[in-house]
Structure 1
Amino acid sequence: MATITIIFIGSLLCLLTLWRRFTAKHKIPLGLKPLPGPKGYPIIGSVPDVPEKNGFVKFAEWGKEYGPIYQVNLAGHNHVWISSDQISKDLLAKKGAIYSDRPHIPALISDNRTSSQYLPLLSKNDGWTRQRKFANVIMRESEKALFHRYPELEAKRMLVELMDDPSRYNHALESFIARVTCRLAWGHSDASDELKQRARELLIGVSPTGALGNKLPFLMSLPDWLVPAKAWERRRAATERRFFEIMQGEVECDIKEKKAPSSWMKTFLENRSKWGFKYELEGAYAVGMHGIAGALTIAAPMQTFCLAMCFYPQYLPMLQEELDRVCGDRLPRSEDRPNLPFLRAIIRECIRWRPPVPTGIPHYLIQDDEYDGYHIPKGSVMHPLEWAIGRDPTMFPDPEAFNPLRWVKPEYPTYQEPLTQYPTIINCTQFGYGRRVCQGQGVADEDLLIGIGSIAWLFNIAQNPGDGDVTVPTVVSDPETVENVSLGINEKASISNEELNAGINSKKPTKEDIILSKYDYPGSYPTLDEKPTQTASGKSETKDKKAPKIDPTLDFTTLLIAKPLPFEFQLTIRDNERAQRIRNLFKEGVKNGDYKGGREYWGENQGKDKPLGWGKV
């Protein structure tokens, strides 16, 4: 009875709060007019009109109807959507003094605006200032060191994983990014699985379509025992804190023993008093947050690359010709960047065509403002809508088509010279505006150049043949013997073509796969029985005949970072001699201790049902 009473009181308070927000009259100054936008419904606003799947498409459609800047009431909060790069610059960059805060994320236990835990989510305050200075230093130093060659080192392991089990390409690409990021953050790669899980859980916590606390904020004021979502977030935060503490402690020990590789944490610890951090673990969070930020987001354009090459195959031979001409029989490296304009064009177009954060990272307006005769009220959440900004037809003719030529041919508006520098993703709109520009864009640029370049250098990518056939990705070559070295890749004494063609279920899952297979979360990958399969006609089918067909190039996760869901395609080795060379380099690296397997931090089954460990995701 007491539980029912608490729920009733909580629901009543929620409704009362929403009603007050809805009925509150915001006075518009004389001579100005309100922004246009959909009217919505009482209390809930336009929430029912926004689909959970690919909601950014709906916001872009409203932009065509109401103009390049409009407002939407979402459950009592005013959201302003901007479909124009110029308007985004006029407001978010030129007026950064009032547009550089972040909105509150209700589902997080600690207030994201003031906790000094997550730099990208902080409001413009002292914590934001000191951590941004620290970020500038670690990014600049690692860039001057060519990111310590970590992407080039991990590219070899990624290619071996793709050769051994191409059906798990998503795992290989995400692991490549997570391992590079782990090395940059702490000097070692063995925490990559844990870093990916920390990123997954935080992504749920900050996504509007993820944690329940973001959909029903009043729940976060109730006791943990009454709200499992709140208890989940408290455990997530505690596990994350302990993980960051462990990683800092390990680098401290490495420094004492004079064996610490270059890392952001080493830079912090060797100048600990220089940064002015205010609480014991602020440095651990300052490093760990950059690790989390890069762990999954940078993999999304790599997955988009595979998608694009299946549906726009004419561009892969052009890319491979450039790589063969510049790199020859070796993998691409950092110094090749000026001579690889078409690779950079492919990367730039992947980010435009399917932006990793299609809704843009929101800003928060701290005082009333006006623009072009319109009144923008204080407290508005401002969204530079990347999906629409990258589809401006005056800047991007035929915007729905994947076309990297738009970046390297003079007849396109996006063409810039010199081609030794342009195209580039540095300072592109996807990395934000004004004072909130992402400081890790150099890392993303390097990872994508080496990662995508390496894949195209070794593999051909194509759709599966046949009409409606379900075929796993296969490596077309004589497979080589693989040493059973337990390095976080699939353990096989040898692989045959028959084994590769036997199907996904024949592949030995990793511990990460086994644990994650028990859980489901908004935007998670579908199970094998539910996974859409690509047909020759370009449609998507599932075993549920009643399910609507989905454009396979728009089958994305529903969280803040929109990642293409796994699909089936052919991955074939271009040259057996290259493949053997990569295997030999990888084996040599194994002997030198360059590649280590993943670690588990929380005991059996990653701490399930224990105070710390992996949460259901």
Structure 2
Amino acid sequence: MSTDPSSPSLLLVLGIVVLVGSIFFIRRIGRDGQLPYPPGPRGSILVGNAYQMPGTEPWKTYSDWGGKYGALTFVTIFNSPMVVINSAAAITDLLEKRSTIYGTRPQMYMLNELMGCKYSVFNVASEHPRFRAYRKMLQKELNSKAVASYKDMMQTEVHLLLRKLQSRPEKFMTLIQLNAAAIAMKFIYGYTVDYDHDSFMKTIEDVAVANRDASGLWLCDYYPILRLMPSWLPGGSFKRKGHSFKTELDKLNDIPHDWVKEQMANNRSTSCFSSRQLSARSLDKEEEDIVKFVSTGLYAGAQDTVATVITTFVLIMSLYPDVQRRAQAEVDAVVGRDRLPNVGDFVKGEMKYIEALIKETLRWAPPVPLAVSHLATADDAYGGYHIPKGTVMVPNIWGLMHDPAEFPDPFTFNPERHLLSTATSATNTQKKLPLDPYDFVFGFGRRACPGATFGRTLLFLTMTSILSTFDISKARDEDGNEIEPRIEFDSGVVSHLLPFDCQIKPRQDAIHLIDESS
């Protein structure tokens, strides 16, 4: 073997030494301390548990691990520690009460550096000045008073969805996706989406494909030495891929932002999130960049998750007709049959069963089954275990929402579990309410979603409007027999239902409501 320090063979040996040494070092942190690591599946010396990481629906595997190892499951991905959190108490204790330790994000080389997402709303480090600027801007535009001012826009777009569903019910999944996009684009950019042919929507679809391709494990995230590899060398293709992904993501940042600026320059802009921020005062390049990133983050956070929840709601209504009838009865009783629901109905809070229905939808199929990861910025101890600095913390929301100890019969859709009821026992004591999904699906601590009120309002308005005007049932074959819908989700960060069939028909006395909504 050559002793030339630049020879490939020697570099390979040095790389292996660094790799194995780093693995043993990180494992010694726990062994030499007073407390052990949390338990977890046994991994290999060279790659840790990387080969055991599930490729599809990882939240289910993590739940199985939680049942075996407890609230915290410790694994290593190559040379990096990760803890999956499978209990409500641990999530609250660590991510809420100790947010000074766990309030930031992992900084992954592929995502943050090569793909250019280092300063995105979701990934920016909590210590960075941009984080505060983002939160301040979002809280100003998404507080309860501000959301109330968007009611006319929301109602107009939801009414358009009703008319589209009446004319093209077989396209319900596409129409729901477009409606959520239309509301987000109108609110953020003042842009009106064309449901048939829209260039912005094509761009967004391309970005979504890039995001799916970019997900997964990248060695450059775990072994910094690989980042020195030129992109033209075999094995350096990750750099070319990263730059390709960045090109697509830049389109999502730049194209709608530049469109708003052009509209403003030509005095054609309407009041929207972007135009309000850009016209508030003279902005330098950094400040304008902040507006652009917040706008993109708002779109990404609102459009996909809302569409996913509404699509899931349609599936559930076809599966549980008794739930649908009870929900419709409540909407009819509170709203009547001479108008459609509005945002004011949500503010009044008179539809308790609908509120329980929304919570149960979020519990039954949380749109983000694994909440965006947090990072331990210091050594910590919890539950008799050592959590080393640099550990990636993964909250398993799906697992928590399907924990039979928290939600008996968790795979059955039952809104009543969220309603306060009085026991009929001799003690006449109140039954204990289950965990509130709202406390877990919108994030934690300083990283909690500032758009929770906007999202809840839009879910209420869309669901009650559909319930008021349509009956949803299982599809039928040529002989009139019911077709059981496929219930299958993909494994993205936002978990989408795969296409399924159902039947959507206007309620007998609701056609005039749909016609009058235009």
TM-score w.r.t. structure 1 length?
Answer: 0.72
* 1:111 to 1:229, Cα distance in 2 relative to 1, 3 A: closer
For 2:469 and 2:9, locate their aligned partners in 1 and report how far apart those are by CA, in whole Å: 61
Correspondence for 1:207: 215
Shift, 1:128, TM fit: 1.0
The structure where helix makes up a greater share of residues is: 2
* 1:272 to 1:221, Cα distance in 2 relative to 1, 3 A: farther
The structure 2 residue matched to 1:122, chosen from 113, 124, 136, is: 124
Q: Check conservation: 1:460, 1:573, Cα contact below 8 A.
A: yes
Shift, 1:39, TM fit: 0.6
The answer to whether structure 1 residue 442 and structure 2 residue 476 are counterparts is: no
> What do residues 90-133 of structure 1 show as CA deviations (whole Å, max 9, x unaligned)?
111111111111112333363789832x1111111211111111
The structure 1 residue matched to 2:191, chosen from 188, 191, 203, is: 188
Q: Check conservation: 1:114, 1:123, Cα contact below 8 A.
A: no
Correspondence for 1:383: 394
The answer to whether structure 1 residue 578 and structure 2 residue 510 are counterparts is: yes
After superposing the two structures, state which structure 1 stretch, 319-328 or 137-146, moved more: 137-146
The answer to whether structure 1 residue 278 and structure 2 residue 260 are counterparts is: no
The amino acid that maps onto 1:319 is A
* 1:435 to 1:8, Cα distance in 2 relative to 1, 3 A: farther
Q: Check conservation: 2:107, 2:118, Cα contact below 8 A.
A: no
Correspondence for 1:464: 475
* 1:218 to 1:570, Cα distance in 2 relative to 1, 3 A: farther
After superposing the two structures, state which structure 1 stretch, 242-251 or 13-22, moved more: 13-22
The structure 2 residue matched to 1:558, chosen from 471, 477, 491, is: 491
Q: Check conservation: 2:472, 2:503, Cα contact below 8 A.
A: yes
Correspondence for 1:296: 304
Q: Which blocks of at least 5 consecutive residues in structure 1 are unaligned?
A: 1-5, 417-422, 473-533, 539-551, 587-617
Shift, 1:204, TM fit: 2.4
Correspondence for 2:316: 308
Q: Check conservation: 2:204, 2:252, Cα contact below 8 A.
A: no
Correspondence for 2:23: 22
Secondary structure of 2:381's counterpart equals strand
For 1:364 and 1:452, locate their aligned partners in 2 and report how far apart those are by CA, in whole Å: 36
* 1:112 to 1:63, Cα distance in 2 relative to 1, 3 A: farther
Q: Check conservation: 2:71, 2:86, Cα contact below 8 A.
A: yes
Secondary structure of 2:75's counterpart equals strand
Correspondence for 2:501: 568
The structure 1 residue matched to 2:158, chosen from 144, 152, 155, is: 155
The amino acid that maps onto 2:304 is L
For 1:312 and 1:120, locate their aligned partners in 2 and report how far apart those are by CA, in whole Å: 35
For 2:338 and 2:219, locate their aligned partners in 1 and report how far apart those are by CA, in whole Å: 51
For 2:459 and 2:8, locate their aligned partners in 1 and report how far apart those are by CA, in whole Å: 48
For 1:175 and 1:217, locate their aligned partners in 2 and report how far apart those are by CA, in whole Å: 41
1:130-145 equivalences in 2 (<5 Å): 130-140=133-143, 143-145=146-148
Q: Check conservation: 1:557, 1:563, Cα contact below 8 A.
A: yes
Q: Check conservation: 1:170, 1:566, Cα contact below 8 A.
A: yes
Secondary structure of 1:297's counterpart equals helix
The answer to whether structure 1 residue 244 and structure 2 residue 253 are counterparts is: yes
Correspondence for 2:275: 266
Q: Which blocks of at least 5 consecutive residues in structure 2 are unaligned?
A: 1-6, 194-198, 423-430
Q: Check conservation: 1:245, 1:281, Cα contact below 8 A.
A: no
The amino acid that maps onto 1:414 is L
The amino acid that maps onto 1:360 is A
Shift, 1:347, TM fit: 1.1
Correspondence for 2:171: 168
> What do residues 64-115 of structure 1 show as CA deviations (whole Å, max 9, x unaligned)?
1001112112233211011111111111111111111111233336378983
Q: Check conservation: 1:10, 1:218, Cα contact below 8 A.
A: no
Q: Check conservation: 1:203, 1:559, Cα contact below 8 A.
A: no
Q: Check conservation: 1:408, 1:415, Cα contact below 8 A.
A: no
* 1:399 to 1:260, Cα distance in 2 relative to 1, 3 A: same
For 2:153 and 2:16, locate their aligned partners in 1 and report how far apart those are by CA, in whole Å: 52
What is the identity percentage for the equivalent residue pairs of Structure 1 and Structure 2? 24
For 1:219 and 1:92, locate their aligned partners in 2 and report how far apart those are by CA, in whole Å: 32
RMSD of equivalent CA atoms: 3.5
Shift, 1:38, TM fit: 0.6
Aligned length: 492
